[in-house]
Structure formats: C-alpha cells, structure tokens
Amino acid sequence: MKKIYLARDLSDAHLLKGFLEGDGIEAEVQGESLWKLRGEIPITEDTAPSVWVPDEDYDRAMELVETFHVGEASASVARKPWRCACGEENEGQFTECWNCGRSR
Ligand SMILES: [Zn+2]
C-alpha cells in the first residue's frame, strides 16, 4: 500500500476514498482512530487521516487525486513544492523525492 493523500479531516478522506473506488481502486483510509483523539494530541502529518492505495494502482490514483478538488486549502497545501532532506526541490504533486526516492 502507498499513501497518496493526507486529508484535512475524515470526511475529506472518505470523499476521496469513494472517488477512487468509483474508478475501481481499492482505497483505504488510515488514521481514523487517531483522528478521533484530536484535541488530546496535536494534529500532525502522522495523526491526520490519510488515504492509501495498492502499489499497482498508485500512478493512476495520483492522477485521480489531481482531479479531486476538495477545498482549496488542502489542494494548495498538497501542491506546494517541498524540499527533500537530500536538498532537491520537488513539485507538490510528488510524494516521493524524484532524486533519492525518500518519501515526503
Ligand atoms: Zn531526495
């Protein structure tokens, strides 16, 4: 499984899951139980709900995520370029560094 999307909240995650399943991709939402503890623990990339897909569907799922616009906030966060630990700048739609393969 690969993580393709970090959601703002559970409904955001489930919307995308349904969207991917509509296209035949068996997506999975992770982090639901942690999300329900929000307020008690800080919200970070590790505690926000995320959407995962099977490795073989990853490329197709990423294209679908691109067309999936739920709120400009999460969309713009997802698209912001990011700098990898190896120093390379990556486009926001990539979750792994093109240079060294480290995940975002
Ligand atoms: Zn890198």
Burial 28-46 (b: 16+ CB within 10 A, else e): ebebeebbeeeeeeeeeee
Tell me the CATH number at 49. 3.30.70.1530
How many A from CA of 104 to the centre of ligand 1? 9
Q: Model confidence over 33-90: pLDDT tens digits?
A: 776 776 666 666 667 889 999 999 999 999 888 888 654 445 555 567 889 999 999 8
Mean pLDDT of 2-15: 89
Residues 54 and 15 in one domain: yes
Question: What is the structure's pLDDT at 73?
Answer: 45
Q: Which two three-digit tokens encode residue 72? A: 């400009």
Per-residue pLDDT reduced to its tens digit, 93-102 = 788 898 999 9
| Cα–Cα nearest to 82, from 50, 55, 45 | 45
Same domain for 93 and 46: no
Indicate whether 89 and 46 sit together in one domain.
Answer: no
If one counts the domains in the chain, the total is 2
Q: How far is the CA of 77 from the centre of ligand 1 (A)?
A: 19
Residues 59 and 81 in one domain: no
Q: Domain range for residue 84?
A: 71-104
**Are residues 79 and 29 located together in one domain of the fold?**
no
Answer yes or no: do 7 and 54 share one domain. yes
